[in-house]
Amino acid sequence: MTSRTCLSIILAAGEGTRMKSATPKVLHQIANLPMVAHVARAAESAGADAVALVVGHGGDAVKKAAEAFAPKADAFVQAERLGTAHAVLAARAAIAKGHDDILVMFGDTPLVEADSLALARQKLAEGAAVVVIGFRPPNPAGYGRLLEKDGRLVAIREDKDCTDEERKIGFCNAGLMAIAGKDALRLLDQVGNSNAKGEFYLTDIVEIADKASLMVVATEASFESVLGINNRAELAEAEAIWQKRRRRQAMLDGATLIAPETVYFSHDTEIGADVLVEPNVWFGPDVKVADGAVIHAFSHLEGADVGPRAEVGPYARLRPGAELHEKAKVGNFCEVKKATVEKGAKINHLTYIGDARVGVGANIGAGTITCNYDGYSKFFTDIGEGAFIGSNSSLVAPIVIGAGAYVASGSVITEEVPGDALAFGRARQKTLPGKGKELRERFASAAAAKKAGAK
C-alpha cells in the first residue's frame, strides 16, 4: 500500500440548510474540530497523499479548516448542485493527475475510521475497479441496498425502487467509495442524469463498471463510522459517539475516569498513564496531562500543559498558556492564564495568576491576584523560588518578588520585593474604642427615620 498513490476527494459543498445555521455544515464541530477536518485526518491516516476539497458556500473557510490535516489540499468549486457524480467531477483536474487510488468521502461524516478507508484501498490493490463501503444499520428502511452476486457488487438499489425481497437486505450503501485511478474518469464520464431529479449519481458507476466487466466489490464499515450529519440533533449524537470512543481509549491507555460519561475531551487532548480524572471535567483544545496528574471535579482546561503528578481543582480553570510543572498544585476556584507554575508550587484557592512565573516551591495565599492588565497592555509578574504570598494580596505588574520573599496578607505590592525580604503594602490599622456601637446606633436611627417617612 505504501507504494500506491492516493487522492481523497472530500465532498463539502452542501449548504446544510437543516442545520439552521449561517455556518457551512461541515464547519460545525465535533470535539472542538470541524467535521471536515475529522474527515481530512481520516484520509491522511489512510495514506492519502493528496486531497481535493469540493466546496461551495464558505469555501475558503472550509479549506482552511481541512488544512490542519491536509496542508496541501486543493479546493474545487461546485457552482451547481447536480448530484454526487457531478460533485466528484468538479475535481477533474486532480483526478487527471493519475493517482492509483481515488477515495470519495463526505465532509459531514466525521466519525469515519481510517481502517475502513484502508480496507477499501486494499481491495483496489487486489484488482477491484470500484469499492463501495457499506454498513448494516439497525433499520435499513430508506437506505440504498447493496446487491451482491457471487462476491461481486452488481448494483445499488434505492429503497423506493427495491422489490419486497431486496428490501430484506440489511447491507446498505454508506456513500463512501474507492475507485481505481486508471478507470475513474472513464466511469464518471458515463454517468447520466436520466432520473426523476435530473442529477448525476455516483452510485451509477457500479452498474457501469459491472457492464464493462470490471470488478466491483463492497466492504463493510460500522454504522457509527459512516454516520452522516444533517441537523444539530445528529451532530449531538455524533459528539456522544466520539466522546465514548475517546473515553474508552483513555482508560485503555491507563487513565482512570471515575465517571467517564461526564468527562469531555477535545480532538487533541493528551492524557498520560495513571492520570485520575474526577467527574465533570472539560478538556478544551491543546491540553496535555502528564503521567500521575490528578484533575479534580468541575475543572475546565484549555491550552494547558499539566506536568507529572500535578494537581488541578476542584473547580479550577486553566486557560491557554498555563504550564504546571511536576507536583505543582492549582486548587479550588483558581484561574491560571499564560503562566508557569514551577515544581511543587502551590496556588491553593480563590486566586488569579496571569502572565506570571511562580517559582519552585512558592506558596500563593487565598485571594491573591496578579494585576496584569491596565486596560491597554499586559504585564509580567515574577515570583521567585520559595516565596510566600499572604492571603488577599494584589501584585501590581510589572513586578518581581524575589526568592524566599514574604508578602504580608492583605498587601498591595507595587514595587520589587528583594529576595528574603518581608513586604507590607497596606494602610496602618487604627482602632477607635466604642465607635462600633456608636455607628450601629446611628445607622439604626437613620433607618427608622427613613421607614417612618415612607409611611
Residues annotated within the binding site for UDP-N-acetyl-alpha-D-glucosamine are 11-14, 25, 78, 83-84, 144, 158, 173, 230, 319, 337, 352, 363
**Hunting for cell 476556584 — which residue is that?**
333
- List 28, 99, 296, 349, catalytic entry: 349
CB 54 within 8 A of CB 7: no
| Angstrom distance (rounded) from CA 52 to CA 46 | 15
CB 440 within 8 A of CB 424: no
Residue 410: Cβ within 10 Å count: 17
Residues 6+ apart with CB under 8 A from 304: 286, 287, 288, 318, 319, 320, 321, 322, 323, 324, 336
User: Alpha helix locations (H) across 316-455?
Assistant: 435-454
- The single-letter DSSP state of residue 132 is E
Annotated binding-site positions for Mg(2+): 108, 230
222, with CB counted inside 10 A (0-12, 13-18, 19+), is middle
Could you tell me how many residues make up the chain? 455
CB 326 within 8 A of CB 308: yes
Question: What is each CA distance from 321 to 121, 272, 284, 309, 358, in whole angstroms?
Answer: 41, 19, 13, 19, 13
Annotated binding-site positions for acetyl-CoA: 366, 372-373, 391, 409, 426
Residues 6+ apart with CB under 8 A from 12: 24, 26, 36, 53, 54, 55, 56, 62, 66, 106, 107, 108
All three cell numbers of 85, joined, read 457524480
All three cell numbers of 144, joined, read 440504498
CB 106 within 8 A of CB 117: no
Is 349 one of the annotated active-site residues of the chain?
A: yes
DSSP string, 298-343: T-EESS-EE-TT-EE-SS-EE-TT-EE-TT-EEEET-EEEEEEE-T
- Would you name the residues annotated as active-site residues? 349
